[in-house]
Amino acid sequence: MIMTHWMRTMHDGILIGIGTALNDDPQLNTRHLPSRDPNLSENGHNNPYHLPRPIILDTNLRLSPTCKLLKNYAEGKGRRPWIVCSEPTETEHKVEWLNRQTALEKAGAGIIVLQVRHNSDGYLPISSVLDVLHKRGIHSVMVEGGAQVIRSFFATNSPVDTIIVTIAPTFVGEEGISYIVDSDNSVFTPVSTETFGRDTVVALVPTK
């Protein structure tokens, strides 16, 4: 987990799907890194490391306004999270969607509305997501999950530069073991394997 927090400091944005946001209520910050100043508070939020922008793919604005990402932002402990979404086409869903937008904005979220509703899978198109983020100054993205979002990034014309897989001696369920083997459309080659404690970390890059 400490390695993951180091990797977070190396990117402009850290991206997750709404499934992960709802299930884990993550903070996506660097609080597990050692403090560089022993006088700083123990919670690690006051450390000087670069904090990536939290980005959530959430078509229908299901994120809770009371989630940790928004609480941390309100308390000055994290950057403003951005939610990437698209407007409903059905009129009957529009009022509810607008109400959720208002509540999330009030809680501090930045809402980015894509002009396209979704791709053939029913999800926000990754190319449109990356285009809009690039225009807002996000030039490197760490995708932290979950499985559905990672699958979308592995689809045709994958924009993925590197995959880092951490294998822990813990079973995380069926969804947790299929990231690589399901990637029919992109082939990656392992370039490095390291062991940290009980975890094995494998780095892979696209095969030339």
Ligand X SMILES: NC(=O)C1=CN([C@@H]2O[C@H](COP(=O)(O)OP(=O)(O)OC[C@H]3O[C@@H](n4cnc5c(N)ncnc54)[C@H](OP(=O)(O)O)[C@@H]3O)[C@@H](O)[C@H]2O)C=CC1
Ligand Y SMILES: Nc1nc(O)c(N)c(N[C@@H]2O[C@H](COP(=O)(O)O)[C@@H](O)[C@H]2O)n1
Taking the least distance from each CB to ligand Y, the nearer of 1 and 181 is 1
- Burial label for 14, CB within 10 Å (0-12, 13-18, 19+), is buried
| CA distance linking residue 98 with residue 80, whole number of Å | 20
Helix, coil or strand: residue 63: coil
String of b and e for 26-46 (b: at least 16 CB within 10 Å)? Answer: bbbbbbebebeeeeeeeebbe
Among 9, 46, 101, 148, binds ligand X (CB under 6 A): 148
**Residue 59 in contact with ligand X, rule: CB under 6 A:** yes
**Residue 127 in contact with ligand X, rule: CB under 6 A:** no
Piece of the chain touching ligand Y by CB under 6 A; list 23-31, 95-103, 125-133, 178-186: 23-31
**Residue 72 in contact with ligand X, rule: CB under 6 A:** no
Residue 205 identity (one-letter amino acid): V
How many residues sit close enough to ligand Y to count as binding (CB under 6 A)?
Answer: 11
Contact letters for ligand Y, residues 85-124 (x by CB under 6 A): ----------------------------------------
